[in-house]
Amino acid sequence: MALSKEKRQALLASYDVDCERGFLPSQDPMISVPACLGAWREIAEELPKLLVASQVKQFVNAMPVVNIDGLKTNAELERAMLAFSFIGHAYVWGEKDPPQSLPASLAAPWYAVTTKLGRPPVLSYASYMLHNWRRTKKDGPIALGNTCLIQNFLGGMDEEWFILIHLDIEAQAGPALASIFPAQKAVELKDAKLLEEELKIIEKALSGMYASLLRMTERCDPYIYYHRVRPYIHGWRDHPVFAEGLIYMGVDDYQGTPQRFRGETGAQSSIIPSLDAALGVVHKDDFMKHYLNEMRDYMPPKHKAFIKAIEKGSSIREFVIEKMANNKSLEDIYNKCIHRVELFRSKHLEYANNYIFKQHQLSSTNPHAVGTGGTPFMPYLQKHRDETAEHILPEPTDK
């Protein structure tokens, strides 16, 4: 018998994973920048206007170093992280010639917040998406049509839609994530029927995720995305403009040494790595796998721990292989799950080609052959798509 919602949530409690919302916070994100950050609230709210006026640097350079001791809750820290991350990237990428350093007024409090959250001082997926939304109707669903962003760079339909599609995917993933530990428990119990039930939940959630991804083109135009959304989410590692990295002034721990952090990318979402771990999808050991593992350093620490816990759990794939000769329905639902992950990765690859690789590069600050995370993303995405397909189990042969 499948576990109740309460029991599923109990298994997830220590990993900041919600059995309905998945990796989204269990309470809606804080909308306003905490008052203790003073004028940073105004800069965050006015960021689209300051970018258009090329005044981000002027305002940031005039700010004093603010003390973050007034940030008491995780929600306040995440809201501060969201503000500093957007302002930091606007400071770096908002004008023609990127600076080689961040002023102490921004770098010091940004670093102090990230130290408490366990993520590096750069815009990562956790801030860009997981903690950057609100519901228009508070009693409505976390779904397209009832959500909007808290923080923007330039703003507009395409920027909103790009991020909100990812939000919808995260919400759709919740039931799948909540079924992973119960599925592994079914393997421990050698209960094929129970495992099949959990895999059906995972397959249904994957279907919903894919349906959400298919809607990207409705309101996010490739040209607008490439030229008006993407430029601000690059990082300063393996980027042609930052050979050495970016200096964070006023951060004693860095001692004036340039830091090299990767930019925001969907590879920092914990969904697919969790499903890979659960379904036994293993990627070949090369530099691209190293990059995939490196992305975990940009995830919230408890989400990273969730993936590790799955990897240490009972092998669903080995159990299915053991039973599939006499259990066609178990093999079929497992293969459907693998196929759904492959489809998701295939569509992602298609979008990367249309939204980035095919676009006309106008500046070295926004290269079309290098991902915002600093990788040659086309072979990277194709490799992981192909390796996923290789995990579809063949029909058992008669002896």
- Give the model confidence (pLDDT) of 292-350 as tens digits: 899 999 999 999 999 999 999 999 999 999 999 999 999 999 999 999 999 999 999 99
Rounded CA-CA distance 179/23 in Å is 14
**Average pLDDT of 98-123?**
98
Is the pLDDT at 397 greater than 70, yes or no?
no
Is the pLDDT at 87 greater than 50, yes or no?
yes
Encode pLDDT of 340-392 as tens digits: 999 999 999 999 999 999 999 999 999 988 889 888 888 889 999 999 999 99
Region of 143 (left: φ > 0; alpha: ψ -120 to 50; beta: rest) is: beta
**Average pLDDT of 281-287?**
87
Is the pLDDT at 137 greater than 80, yes or no?
yes
Chain-wide mean pLDDT for the chain?
96
DSSP 110-175: HHHHHHHHTS-SS--HIIIIITS-EESSTTS-SSTTSEE-S--SS-SHHHHHHHHHHHHHHHHHHH
Of 287 and 346, more confident: 346
Is the pLDDT at 399 greater than 50, yes or no?
no
Encode pLDDT of 206-245 as tens digits: 999 999 999 999 999 999 999 999 999 999 999 999 999 9
pLDDT in the model for residue 287: 74
pLDDT in the model for residue 396: 60
Non-local (6+) Cβ contacts of 61 within 8 A are 103, 105
Domains in the chain with CATH codes: 18-389 (1.20.58.480)
Cβ atoms of residues 113 and 73 within 8 Å = no
Is the pLDDT at 112 greater than 60, yes or no?
yes
Cβ atoms of residues 267 and 384 within 8 Å = no
Rounded CA-CA distance 372/263 in Å is 5
Bridge partner residues of 148 (DSSP): 134
Cβ atoms of residues 243 and 99 within 8 Å = no
pTM over the 0.95 mark: yes
